[in-house]
Structure 1
Amino acid sequence: RQTIKVLRRRHPARESEKPRQGNPQNAPTPKVLPRLPVERIPELRPDNTAYDGQSEIPTLDEVISLVKQVEADTGRKIGIIPETKHPTYFAEEGLLLDGTPIHHDTSRMLVDDLVEAGFTDPDRVIIQSFELENLIRLQTEIMPRAHIDVPLIQLPNEGGYDIVYNFDPSKSSLGANSSVYKDFNFPLSAESATNGDLYMPAALRAMHDLYAELIGPYKDDILPTRTVDPPVDGNGDGKAEVTRELTGAKSSLVEDAHKAGLDVIIYTLRDEEVFASLSPDGTPRPTEQEYRDFIATGVDGFFTDFPGTGRRVVGAVTREHDLAPHQLVECHWHL
C-alpha cells in the first residue's frame, strides 16, 4: 500500500538518544497556537533557514486541504498519519494561562475534523499515539460513534503517560482510574510506560486484540546502537557529528509484532550525519544503507524526513528483487 507519505519534524527538545513522549507539562496550550505557525528552530537544521518566510506550520485542516488539492492536480491518492500529542494532559490536567482547565478531548476533536473534512478513508488515514487510553477509546467509543474505522498505531517507546497518570492515586480527584485498561489483556502497572512491558509479546497481542493494527517503535528498538565518544566525522566534511554505532544485535520486535498480527512502522530515518549511526565495525554507514538495513529486518514501513531518499531505496530494492507492481502492494511501504 504505497499511499502514505509523511514529512516528520521534531522539536530539538524531542531529540535524545532514545526519543520519548516527554513531560506533558511542556505541551503547547491552545493559547500558544497563534505562535506555532511562526516558530523557527534554526539550531537543529541551519540549512533550512534558506526557506524562512516562505511558509508557516500548517493546521490539520490546511494539511487536508493541501492533500485534496494535490490529489486533484495529480490524480494520486495521498494519505496522512496524524498523531495525538499528550491527550491525557489536555483532557485532564492541562491549564490555560489563566488557570482555567483545558479539558479538550483531542482524540474526539481529531475524528470530528476528519469527518467534517470528509477524509476518513482507512487506506489513507492512520492515527498514532504514544498513549494507550486514547487509542482504546478511539477504537471502542469515538470512531464507532462517528461511523468511521481507521487503523491505529501504538507508539510504544517510553510514552504512555496515560499509564503513569491513571495508576497515580494522587490523580484520582482529576479522574485518573486504572480500570480504563480493564479490557486490555495484559497486567499493566505504573511502571509499564517505561519498563519494557509494552514490548512484551503478550502486550503486543493485547494491543492487536483490543485496538491497534500497527506499532510504531523507535528504530533503535529493532537495531540497537551504543554511544560513540568522541564523535566521528562520517562523511568527510570536517565535522565530527556521528555519536551512535550499531551494536550488531537485532531485537525480536518485528517478528513478535507480526506474530501478534501487527504491522511495524519505524521512526525516523534521516539523511543528516548528526542522526547517522556507524556500522558495528565502527566504519561510516552510507545514508541509503540505513534504509536497506531496516527493510531487511522485515519492517512494514518507515517514517522519513527525506521521502526522496526513501522512495529511491524502495525503488532500487523493488528492482533488485524483481517485484511486479501487484507484489509491491504487499510491501506496505509508508514514506
Structure 2
Amino acid sequence: MIFVVALAMAANGPLIIAHRGASGERPEHTIGAYALAIDQGADFIEPDLVSTKDGVLVARHENEISETTDVASHPEFADRKRTKTIDGQSLTGWFTEDFTLAELKTLRAKERLPQLRPANTTYDGQWDIPTLDEVIALVKRREQETGRRIGLYPETKHPSYFRALGLPLEETLVATLARAGYDGAEDPVFIQSFEVDNLKRLNGMTELPLIQLMASAYGPPDQPGVTYAAMSTAEGLGAIAHYADGVGLEKAMVVPRSADGKLAAPTRIVTDAHAAGLKVHVWTFRRENYFLPADFKAGASPVATGDVGAEIRAFVATGIDGLFSDNVAEAVAAAR
C-alpha cells in the first residue's frame, strides 16, 4: 500500500487529523464538529465507528452513549440501561447495539467534557448522532465547495465485541467506503484500530491504508498477554508492517514526560517505525492545561488554555507524519 494522495495533501507539514472533529469547540462526533474542523483546515476528520442494533455504522467514541447524548433523559429508553463487560471493563449505561438507527436518531448529542469545556455546552442538543454515510456526504459536499480533498480517518471501535454480537464492523465499513469511491491505496482514507486481528482481516479486504493504534500501557484487547510496549520495539514494528501501513501512537510513546511533568527526550520509536516502513501519527493534542505538559501550561486552572502550539512543534521536530488534535486551527498554525 502507498500514501501518494495522503502525503500530497500535507506536503508542507504533517497531516492534521481532526480528533472526533473539532471536538475542542463543538460536541464530539457531530456534523457540526466535523464541519468546523474542515473549515479550520483539517486534512482528515476522524469518525469513530460503532454499530446500531440493525447494523448501521454511526459515529460515537464509545458504544456506551450516556456521556455524549441525552439518552438518560428519555423515559421511553429507561429499560435499555444495562451493565456490560466490554474489552474486560464493566460499564453501565445505554449501548448503541441495543438501539435501531431510527431510535438513536431521536437522541441529541451533548458535550462529553462540560467541566473542561463549558462553552461547548451551548451547542448541546443541536445535532444528532451521524451515520458514516452522513459523514461521507458532508465530506463530499465540502470537497465540492472548497475544491480541496478532505480525508476520512475512521476507527473501528471494539471490533471483536461487535463481531461476537453478529454485528461485524469490517465488512460494513469496507462496503460503505467502496460505495463512496474509497477502495484504493491512493484514496484519502486511513482505517485505524487498537486491535490486531481486525486489521489483519481488513488487510485482506481492502487496499486502503491501515493504522495500528498503540498506547503507552496495556495491549490489544484481542491479544491476551501481548503489550503495546512489546509491539513498539524494532522487531514488533517490523511485524506490524506485515499487515498495516502506519502506527497511531499515544504522545508518551514518542516524547514522554519527566517526573516534573515536562517534556523529556524523545524515544527512538519514530526512527524505528520509519525504518520498518511505517508512517507515524500521534494522538492527541489539546489546548487545555489539564492535558498539557508542565512546560506549556498557562496558570493553574485546568480549564485555561495553554500553549498547545509549542507542544505540537516539539513533536513535529521528531519527524512524525501526522497528528490528531481537538483544536484544528491551533494545530494547523503550529505545524505548517
Give the shorter-chain TM-score range. Answer: 0.5 to 0.7
Percent identical among aligned pairs is: 37
Partner Cα separation in structure 2 for residue 261 and residue 103 of structure 1:
35
The 10-residue stretch of structure 1 (26-35 or 37-46) with the greater mean CA deviation from structure 2 = 26-35
Contact 1:24 1:89 in 2 (8 A): no
Following superposition of structure 1 onto structure 2, how do residues 275-314 of structure 1 map, counting pairs within 5 Å?
275-279=291-295, 286-314=307-335
Residue of structure 2 aligned with 1:7, choices 18, 27, 32: 18
Question: Aligned runs of 1:39-58 on 2, under 5 Å?
Answer: 39-40=109-110, 41=112, 42-58=114-130
1:38 corresponds to which residue?
Answer: 108
Measure the CA separation in 2 of the matches of 1:46 and 1:35.
25
Q: Given the two structures, how large is their TM-score scaled by the length of structure 1? A: 0.67
Counterpart-to-counterpart distance in 2, 1:307 and 1:115: 28
Question: Could you say which residue in structure 1 is the equivalent of 2:137?
Answer: 65
The structure in which a higher percent of residues are strand is: 2
Report how far residue 227 of structure 1 moved.
6.4
TM-score by length of 2: 0.67
Where in structure 2 are the equivalents of 1:313-324 lying within 5 Å? 313-315=334-336
Distance of aligned partners of 1:252 and 1:5 in 2 relative to their CA distance in 1, 3 Å threshold: closer
**Does the aligned pair in 2 maintain the 1:24–1:86 contact within 8 Å?**
no
Aligned pairs, how many? 250
**Contact 1:291–1:313 (CA under 8 A) maintained in structure 2:** yes
What displacement does 1:120 show?
Answer: 3.1
Task: Select 2:151's aligned residue among 70, 79, 84.
Answer: 79
1:268 corresponds to which of 276, 280, 284:
284
**Correspondences of 1:1-150 after superposition (within 5 Å):** 1=7, 2=9, 6-9=17-20, 23=88, 26=91, 28-32=95-99, 34-35=103-104, 38-40=108-110, 41=112, 42-92=114-164, 102-121=165-184, 122-140=186-204, 142-143=205-206, 149-150=207-208
Task: For 1:255, give the aligned amino acid.
Answer: T
Q: Aligned-pair distance for 1:262?
A: 0.5
Query: Highest CA radius of gyration, 1 or 2?
Result: 1
Over the residues paired in the alignment, what is the CA RMSD in angstroms? 3.0
Query: Residues 114-133 of structure 1, C-alpha deviation per residue, up to 9 Å, x if partnerless?
Result: 11222335331110000000
Moved more, 295-304 or 30-39: 30-39
What CA deviation, in whole Å up to 9, does each residue of 1:228-278 have, x standing for no partner? Answer: 6xxxxxxxxxxxxxxxx1252321111110111111000011111211111
Corresponding residue SS for 1:91:
helix
Query: 1:160 corresponds to which residue?
Result: 220
Contact 1:226 1:247 in 2 (8 A): yes
**In the alignment, structure 1 residue 207 sits paired with structure 2 residue 240:** yes
C-alpha deviation, 1:73, in angstroms: 1.2
Residues 192 and 283 (structure 1), Cα distance of their counterparts in 2 relative to 1, 3 Å cut: farther
